[in-house]
C-alpha cells in the first residue's frame, strides 16, 4: 500500500482462487501441444534415450500406440523424426526420398490407424539421412550447398506428402526452400498440405540430446552456423519470417523456445500470424535434470514454461513433455 494511492490494491484480484481464475489472461490446453516422437526400425522396439530421460524411440507399430494416446489426451498433432539405420545413411541422404523409408511407414501407419483424428507434422531436412549429419548436401570443404539441397528438400517434401503428412516443416534453414516446396505441393495435388517453416532457427547449444536421439551427434563434423541463425540476432529473424511468409508458409516456428521468447513476441506483434515454438531437447533435459537434482517440481515447471510460451504469443509448442502436460491439463 502506498501512502498516496491507498485504494490501489492489485492484490485484491489475487486474493481468492475464483478471482484469480476470472482474471487469468492466458490459457493453456492440450490443443496447444505438438508431441515430437522418434521412430526406430524394427518391431516391438522401445529404445530409451539416455540424454532425454523419459523419452524413447519407438518402432512404427508402437508409434501408432503413441498416436492413439495423443488422440485420447486431446493432443492435436505429432512431429516425427526417424532414427535412420546407419547403413542407409549416405553422403547425399538419398534415403530421404525412399517412399518406404522409416518416416513414410510411420506416417502411413498413423494415418491408417487414426484417420484425420490427428495431424502429422514431418521434419524436412537431410540430417537424419546423411552420413555427415549436416542438414543438406556438402561440397569438398564441408560447406552446405544451398540450391542443390533445396531441390532434394522439394523431393523429400513430396515424398512425405504422398505418404500422408499434413504439415511439412522445413527445419533446414536453406534460403528459398519454402517457395519451391509450396509450388511443388500445389503442382502435385497437395494443395491442402500445410507448411510450418522453422523460420527462425538458431545455431543452438540446446540440440545435443536430439542429436543422440537421431544418432547424428557422432557423425556431425563442425557445426551448423553457416545456415542456422546467430543467437545474437533478432532483426534477422524478422527478415527470415517475412521471407517464409511471402513464399507461402502457413505458420512459422521459433526454435529453441524459452531463451527466444523475445523473438516469438516480436514475430507475433509484427506479422500477426500463427507462431509456434519448439521447446527443444536441451530445454527438456534441463528441466529433467533440475527435477533429478531436487531443485524444482516437474509438473509445475512444465506447466509454467508452457504457459510462458502462450503468454509470449505462441499458438502452440512442440514439447517432449506434451503427454505429461496434456494429462495434467485434462485432469
Q: Which residues are catalytic?
A: 201, 255
The C-alpha cell that represents 185 in the structure block: 505441393
The stretch near ligand PBG (CB under 6 A) out of 92-100, 181-189, 204-212, 267-275 is 204-212
CA gap 314, 268 in Å, rounded: 8
The candidate with the shortest Cα–Cα distance to 195, out of 152, 166, 236, 172, is 166
Binding mask 208-227 for ligand PBG (x = CB under 6 A): --xx------------x---
Q: Given the complex with ligand PBG, which of 119 and 136 has the nearer CB atom?
A: 136
Query: For ligand PBG, which residue of 95, 127, 166, 247 counts as binding (CB under 6 A)?
Result: 127
Query: Minimum distance from CB of 281 to ligand PBG (Å)?
Result: 3
Query: For ligand PBG, which residue of 37, 106, 125, 245 counts as binding (CB under 6 A)?
Result: 125
Give yes or no for residue 95 binding ligand PBG (CB under 6 A).
no
Q: What is the DSSP string of 52-112?
A: STT-EEEEHHHHHHHHHHHHHHT--EEEEEE---GGG-BTT-GGGG-TTSHHHHHHHHHHH
Query: For ligand PBG, which residue of 49, 66, 73, 123 counts as binding (CB under 6 A)?
Result: 123
The candidate with the shortest Cα–Cα distance to 81, out of 111, 113, 115, 55, is 55
Query: For ligand PBG, which residue of 135, 212, 244, 247 counts as binding (CB under 6 A)?
Result: 135
The stretch near ligand PBG (CB under 6 A) out of 57-65, 82-90, 207-215, 301-309 is 207-215
Query: Minimum distance from CB of 297 to ligand PBG (Å)?
Result: 23
Strands 316-319 and 275-279, how do they pair?
Answer: parallel
CA gap 302, 312 in Å, rounded: 16
Q: Given the complex with ligand PBG, which of 68 and 208 has the nearer CB atom?
A: 208
Residue the block writes with cell 502436460: 325
Amino acid at each position: 500500500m502506498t501512502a498516496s494511492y491507498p485504494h490501489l490494491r492489485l492484490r485484491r484480484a489475487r486474493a481468492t482462487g475464483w478471482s484469480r481464475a476470472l482474471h487469468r489472461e492466458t490459457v493453456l490446453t492440450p490443443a496447444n501441444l505438438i508431441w515430437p516422437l522418434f521412430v526406430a526400425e524394427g518391431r516391438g522396439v522401445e529404445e530409451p534415450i539416455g540424454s532425454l530421460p523419459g523419452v524413447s524411440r519407438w518402432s512404427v507399430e508402437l508409434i501408432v500406440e503413441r498416436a492413439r494416446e495423443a488422440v485420447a489426451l486431446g493432443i492435436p498433432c505429432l512431429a516425427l523424426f526417424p532414427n535412420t539405420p546407419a547403413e542407409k545413411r549416405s553422403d547425399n541422404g538419398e534415403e530421404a526420398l525412399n517412399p518406404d523409408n522409416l518416416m513414410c511407414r510411420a506416417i502411413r501407419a498413423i494415418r491408417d490407424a487414426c484417420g484425420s483424428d490427428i495431424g502429422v507434422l514431418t521434419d524436412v531436412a537431410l540430417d537424419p539421412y546423411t552420413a555427415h549429419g549436416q542438414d543438406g548436401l556438402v561440397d569438398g570443404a564441408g560447406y552446405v550447398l544451398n540450391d542443390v539441397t533445396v531441390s532434394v528438400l522439394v523431393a523429400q517434401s513430396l515424398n512425405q506428402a504422398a505418404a500422408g503428412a499434413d504439415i511439412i516443416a522445413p527445419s533446414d534453414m536453406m534460403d528459398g526452400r519454402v517457395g519451391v516446396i509450396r509450388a511443388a505441393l500445389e503442382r502435385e495435388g497437395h494443395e491442402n498440405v500445410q507448411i510450418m517453416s522453422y523460420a527462425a532457427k538458431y545455431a543452438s547449444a540446446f540440440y545435443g540430446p536430439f542429436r543422440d536421439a537421431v544418432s547424428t551427434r557422432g557423425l556431425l563434423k563442425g557445426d551448423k552456423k553457416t545456415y542456422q541463425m546467430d543467437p545474437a540476432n533478432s532483426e534477422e529473424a524478422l527478415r527470415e519470417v517475412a521471407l517464409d511468409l511471402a513464399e507461402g508458409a502457413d505458420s512459422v516456428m521459433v526454435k529453441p523456445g524459452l531463451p527466444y521468447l523475445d523473438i516469438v513476441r516480436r514475430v507475433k506483434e509484427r506479422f500477426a500470424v500463427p507462431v509456434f515454438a519448439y521447446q527443444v531437447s536441451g530445454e527438456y533435459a534441463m528441466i529433467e535434470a533440475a527435477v533429478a537434482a531436487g531443485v524444482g517440481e516437474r509438473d509445475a515447471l512444465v506447466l509454467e514454461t508452457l504457459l510462458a510460451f502462450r503468454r509470449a504469443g505462441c499458438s502452440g509448442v512442440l514439447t517432449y513433455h506434451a503427454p505429461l502436460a496434456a494429462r495434467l491439463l485434462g485432469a
